[in-house]
Structure 1
């Protein structure tokens, strides 16, 4: 739970920095070539880091089955702390890009390691996923909120350096923790394949190809496409959300001097969109808990179909509700946050239902390759659509992605 909160603290603080980078940097200079900074180009920069966050999950999953979860989680935490420390001294977007790539590489091993640990070590798996998700959303909400508050006082580089410290402390704890990582193997009747498997994972390319082939000839293929669609929607809606909110009525910057009369504030402003964004992410705690509990009571497949259908409706309703004013948008944002994050424990349990325990790390590696690797393209797609079209087009595209995911979830239930 501690590590999950840290991963998402960093992941979702980045869109707040995006709005600052758009204003601060005019060009990206690489080897004497200068490229103008737009939403499209900055979307590609952020996608590079987010993409590695997902792409690294597959080799991370292989390592989990070989080395266990604890050591990889500790390495993940130290690596994330180091990458944000580098971000804190970045003189331009080239070093920013390098920092994001290092963060993505370090963070990529977390989800295969953490979810394997829960699926093989916790008896009440659905409840375990629920609390794990709650911790993630605490980081998802409080990370951006802490970032926004710190930006009232410090510049963005100092804020990045301060954010590096919690991961280092959490890594020190993780390096010393001891527990049985396979305490619940053989307990779950819904585990796919050989529930008693306690293998050491794949040890060669041939074994990797055999295990991968066995996964993708069954239900996991459908699950993989579903999680890719979820990743595209998730990243597509969140990457530029603070930037989109800036132009809406009620989100005008407020001078900090209005709250601190007589105090020198250096012209700093309070930006409401950052706090709306943080609040939307924080209410996702309820969605994570709801989704986890649903896995213990109902078929995760039917629940996924319903949740994705609702996400399609919410995407189409976002701009019409926003036009009604900030009050209705606050209520809508709360509902949107709960729905968006209810998906995660549902697909995590679905993966466990359709994969063998002995290759669970590999299974979650592929899962987060799809969710955060392929899904990272959602940021680039969003940046491109917003540059060459408009926000209405973006939300229509996202609604289409959610409809496809809903249909695939129904197909999964009916076929398997």
Structure 2
């Protein structure tokens, strides 16, 4: 829970920092390639430099989790994130920002396959564990940006703010290193083997061999896991597409214009606090979704959740333009739905994969969510550069609709043959 909160604190503070970088850096200078004006597309690409390895690294992270266990990966993740944000505080150019974000992404990438594999194999009540774990992540998502916004307002210098944000990860690494856990306590025959055998199956690190990696991958993608992977990719594109520029989009509404406050180095920007508040609603969504996975078929949860996201993508701008109250209402529903779906696809992976490949399966899942999904930021920036916010939300609605169709296909398969764990 501690590591999950730290990962998402950094992840969702970046869109707020992007607003500051847009003011400070007018162009991205890349050796041998030239100079590119800091358009929405270029700024989205800079964030993608961090978000892409955050997802792509999940696959090797899953392999390492199966081979060597989760704890050491989680400790390394926290150390790496702290070091990356320390380097970010020294960034003299937008290119340096991109490089520092890349380092952060590599370090953060191992968390989800390691942490979720630990829960799925070490906890009996998975749904509740995913719920509490999700609440911690969402507290990081909401409180992290809120703290960042307050620090930017009070301190003013974004470099000092980023340096301060590096400290919690390093403290968390020290705390995580002292925790002792049994990583296979809940593995049973229903998960693909007895707990003792499954716990020892990968202790030697044999999964690191190319043959086992390819064999496990073939087993996963020859099953219904391929549909769950499709949901993960579409979910990631929607998630990153809507959140990357959400502070900027909120700042375009008349009711959320900056307010100058005497004695402070930066104006008070209401959209930053509304952004944090809407993410805080995700805490409730994550908890409700986690609890619901123990009570309703996960496939129906996917259908309902993504259909709701499609609907409210289309409703967001028309409703939000009616005033501050409607904006907060529609944003809250969108924030709730955005996170209520996450426990459903996490639990779906657990149902459709064997325990001995659970880390690998979550590696692929977060390759889809945060690797392929990282393109959502660049996609959003491109749409905003060539079109307008209305076009962006139509694209988001299409992505959510496709995810709902994947969930429906999984539900129809379940009714005919069950989850069919490989």
TM-score for the superposition, normalised by structure 2: 0.95
Contact preservation (8 Å) 1:312, 1:402: yes
For residues 325-404 of structure 1, the aligned pairs below 5 Å read 325-404=323-402
Cα deviation for residue 265 of structure 1 reads 2.5
Does structure 2 retain, via aligned residues, the 8 Å contact 1:255–1:270? Answer: yes
Residue in structure 2 matched with residue 24 of structure 1 by the alignment: 24
SS at match of 1:255: coil
Q: CA deviation at 1:194?
A: 4.1
1:247 Cα offset (Å): 1.2
CA distance in structure 2 between the partners assigned to 1:304 and 1:270 by the alignment: 38
Question: How does 1:120-159 map onto structure 2 within 5 Å?
Answer: 120-154=121-155, 155-159=157-161
CA positional deviation for 1:44: 0.8
Distance in 2 between residues matched to 1:101 and 1:411, nearest whole Å: 36
* Backbone CA RMSD of aligned residues: 1.1
Give distance in 2, aligned partners of 1:403 and 1:179: 40
- After superposition, residues 180-219 of structure 1 pair within 5 angstroms as 180-186=182-188, 189=190, 191=191, 193-194=192-193, 196=195, 197-198=198-199, 199-200=201-202, 202-219=207-224
Superposition deviation, residue 291 in structure 1 = 0.6
After superposing on structure 2, the runs of 4+ consecutive aligned residues of structure 1 that deviate more than 3 Å are: 193-196
Separation in 1 of the partners of 2:239 and 2:178? 34
Shift of 1:34: 1.6
Measured after TM superposition, the shift of residue 19 of structure 1 is 1.0
CA offset at residue 275 of structure 1? Answer: 0.5
String of CA shifts for 1:157-191, please: whole Å, max 9, x gaps: 1100000000000000111211111111107x4x4
* Preserved CA contact (<8 Å) 2:62 2:362: yes
SS at match of 2:293: helix
User: Any residues of structure 2 matched to 1:189-338 within 5 Å, and which?
Assistant: 189=190, 191=191, 193-194=192-193, 196=195, 197-198=198-199, 199-200=201-202, 202-257=207-262, 264-266=263-265, 268-338=266-336
Provide the rounded CA distance (Å) in 2 between the counterparts of 1:265 and 1:129: 41
Contact 2:64 2:208 in 1 (8 A): no
1:348-369 per-position Cα deviation (integer Å, ceiling 9, x unaligned): 0000001010111000000000
Q: How far apart are 1:35 and its partner, in Å?
A: 1.4
Distance in 1 of aligned mates of 2:246 and 2:194: 42
The total of aligned residue pairs comes to 406
- Partner of 1:408 in structure 2? 406
Secondary structure at the residue paired with 1:320? helix
State the secondary structure of the residue aligned to 1:29: strand
Measured after TM superposition, the shift of residue 195 of structure 1 is 6.2
Distance 1:294 1:251 in 2: 35
- Verify the 8 A CA contact 1:49 1:103 in the aligned structure 2: yes
Could you tell me how far apart the structure 1 residues matched to 2:301 and 2:251 are?
34
| Aligned partner (choices 165, 170, 173) of residue 172 of structure 2 | 170
Cα offset, 1:153, TM superposition = 2.0
